[in-house]
Amino acid sequence: MRKKDNVEVEIVTGIADAAEGYQHVIPIVSDEEELSEGVVIPDVLPILTLRSSVLFPGAITPITVGREKSIKLIRDVESNSGVLGAVLQREADVEQPAADDMYRVGTAARILKVLEMPNGNLTVILHGLEKVEVLEYMQSEPYFKATVNILKDVAPERNNVEFGALVDSIRDVALNVISISPNIPKEATFAIKNIDSKRGIINFICSSMDFTDADRQRLLEAPGLLARSRKLLEILVREQQLVELKNKIQAQVKRDIDQQQKEYYLHQQMRTIQEELGETDEGDIAKLRERAQTKKWTEEVGKQFEREVVKLERLNPAVAEYSVQMNYLETMLELPWGEYTEDNMDLTRARQRLDEDHYGLDEVKERILEHLSVIKLKGDLKSPIICLYGPPGVGKTSLGRSVAEALGRKFGRISLGGLHDESEIRGHRRTYIGSMPGRIIETIKRCGSSNPVIILDEVDKVSRSNHGDPSSALLEVLDPEQNSTFHDNYIDVDYDLSKVLFIATANNVGNISAALRDRMEMINIAGYILDEKLEIAERHLIRKQCEAHGVKPEQLTISREVLATIVEDYTRESGVRSLDKQLAKIARHRAKQIGFEEAYEPAVSVEDVRKILGVQKFQRDRYDLGGMVGVVTGLAWTEVGGDILYIESVLTPGKGTLNLTGNLGDVMKESATIAWEWVKAHHAELGIAAELFEKHDLNIHVPEGAIPKDGPSAGITMVTSIVSTYTGRRVVERIAMTGETTLRGRVLPVGGIKEKILAAKRAGISHLILCEDNRKDISEIKAEYLEGLTFDYVRSVDEVLALALEK
């Protein structure tokens, strides 16, 4: 036998042994010219249908045969030492393929060896000869026979640079794929390195790589070796990328599993050590889980709690993080998840409760009762959040407490005055040392129910800083469309605030951001007149101070006349807070007399008031300037209620300049300038000589210079004062005014009318001039507030001057 035959026998023997051991080894004949030497391929071939393998020319491949047709075909061909055609079927799961179920291009092959398998199948070792095309099937029984056409693989010229580069690239990429792929035998590396034939290495790689049958078929059908090499390199690069990605994923998964196993092992060791040292905390953790069973929280919150408990189990009780984690879990358990108090919807009782606790404030009470009626009808709180605004001491905070008692709900109060850190509302993240929930969640926890009445006190005193803007955080709290999923940074889960009745209080609504103000329903609580203060003192304050100081009601009595003296001479406010303090002093003095067993009269006289409270502190806004030139009474609004102020002006020799004094703000200075310019523009109609503006300076002063003053509402007051000074006409007695003016002499409306009217009544003024557009504000004020007052409504400065200056 020639060298070729010896090589072939050795190859077949190796493959037979490999097949017996179920290994996948695919050698190939090294001499390209001897592939079909001495073998004649007839025009008609028996066709062996391959279920999931593609045979390439020059390749020696073991094929397992199990179908009866295929077994008969193998035995007939082997006995005749003939040639067969190996063709891949399109669908591997088709058990009895027809002619249309097979590809048209296959490989002519001869049988080298047939091995009998224990299960009755055959393992046939085929030697690929040439690529053939099936032209027409001649028979299908007992097996397929077809006429074929031989398709020679056209090789490029020897000096083809592209083909050589392609083969080198294919070799390199294939070696890399074999080195990183666990599915390809490493012996293939040795074969690739030792095959010299370019045709041989291409067909060997096509046969031995882990390609899909569809890819192998496309490679076989490629017209010529150059096209096959291009397609092979493309497939190899794709396979290389896939194998690298798979290996990367598997490595990452292995690292994660190893880390988890390591952590588990270390935690088990730590737990064993803790048990030996007697530091186990199993009891505490079991109690946490037991308490969690009673909570009415959502499934999401329950999962979050369990995750945090698992973290706690892994911690050593001696480390600082343990107490932080335990505090968090305790906070979660102390919150009243889904726990609500039952509302008392007896509106008659609510009205009675409000009347008992607060005198007057009828408008506010009606609005609160309307709000409670909506809650009764709808069963939810999708109505706007209430904001009570007004001067200090008028009962805003205590009104909220009365609402809670009337409804039968828990009551909580949050003071927002001076708050400048957003975390005070939203809470601190647990990464910070000393972190805790925000004030909203803390108040809910303290109340012990998820539907309390919460007073947000002094919401206008919130300030912005580099720690954030708390008023922006309040937007979520006070928006009924958002607060059902309020997110506190500390508990790190959503909490439902939609059932909480929020009542905000403020003194100056101008300090509240527009977005926050838009989310609240503003209810004004104005100051009290003298009669209301006397009623409040008699009904509430005297009894309150007697109880606070241990004095019996019959031991301390104060008449209305004495109360009026206290109010007018010792307090200066729209509310009753200062009055309460003065009554507390009187109650303490009486308690001292009783304690020392001194003789006393139960009824307090005016002389007793002077003795206890000292000399008179206030000359209460009394109008004491009648019929003067250049002095006009204006009305002002302050955070403690209304007040009167005087605008004084005088001419001095000079160069025609305007001087302003009295601690005036920019807006008030602009009002003075506008008033002066209007007078100069209309000096002829007013009967003022032009030279007065050139040879005299105008000086405007607003008394009480230590107190800052600002705003546009003194515009018409300044015009009246300036005209009075230039013309020498006296101002009508007991008249006051408020309104903004323009350069064209129009009078514009201003705010705070009710407070200003109360200030005028206290000062003994009887005639008020207001803008025509403020008439609607007067119609909303109680009739008793307006008794003894005359109102004139104007639209221009000319009308003001006609009313305010004597002829």
CA distance 524 to 364: 8
Cβ-contact 577, 531 below 8 angstroms: no
Return the amino acid letter for 604.
Answer: V
List the 501-506 sheet strands across, edge first: 411-415, 453-457, 501-506, 385-389, 520-524
Return all residues near 763 (Cβ < 8 A) that are at least 6 apart: 620, 621, 622, 623, 633, 644, 736
Cβ-contact 119, 99 below 8 angstroms: no
For the residues of 702-718, what is the DSSP string, one character each? -S-TTS-B--STTHHHH
CA distance 580 to 559: 15
Indicate if 756 belongs to the active site: yes
Largest CA distance in the chain: 149
Number of neighbouring beta carbons within 10 Å of residue 789: 15
Structure tokens at 664: 């005036």
For the residues of 674-705, what is the DSSP string, one character each? HHHHHHHHTHHHHT--THHHHHEEEEEE-S-T
Using CB atoms within 10 A of its CB, is residue 195 exposed (0-12), middle (13-18) or buried (19+)? buried
Q: State phi, psi for 370 to the nearest 5 degrees.
A: -60, -40
For the residues of 247-307, what is the DSSP string, one character each? HHHHHHHHHHHHHHHHHHHHHHHHHHHHHHHT---HHHHHHHHHHHTT----HHHHHHHHH
Q: Which of 538, 539, 445 is nearest to 491 (CA)?
A: 445
Return all residues near 105 (Cβ < 8 A) that are at least 6 apart: 87, 131, 132, 133, 134, 151, 217, 220, 221
CA distance 667 to 659: 15
CA distance 581 to 571: 10
Structure tokens at 206: 């096509």
Which residue has 């932080």 as its token pair?
Answer: 324
Q: Which residue among 207, 713, 721, 724 is the active-site one? A: 713
Structure tokens at 262: 């390591």
Indicate if 445 belongs to the active site: no
* Share of the chain residues as helix, strand and coil, in percent rounded to the nearest 5: 50, 20, 35
- Kindly provide the b/e burial profile for residues 62-74, where b requires at least 16 CB atoms within 10 angstroms of the residue's own CB: bbbbebebbbebb
Cβ-contact 89, 102 below 8 angstroms: yes
Return all residues near 457 (Cβ < 8 A) that are at least 6 apart: 397, 413, 414, 415, 416, 417, 504, 505
Residues tagged active-site: 713, 756
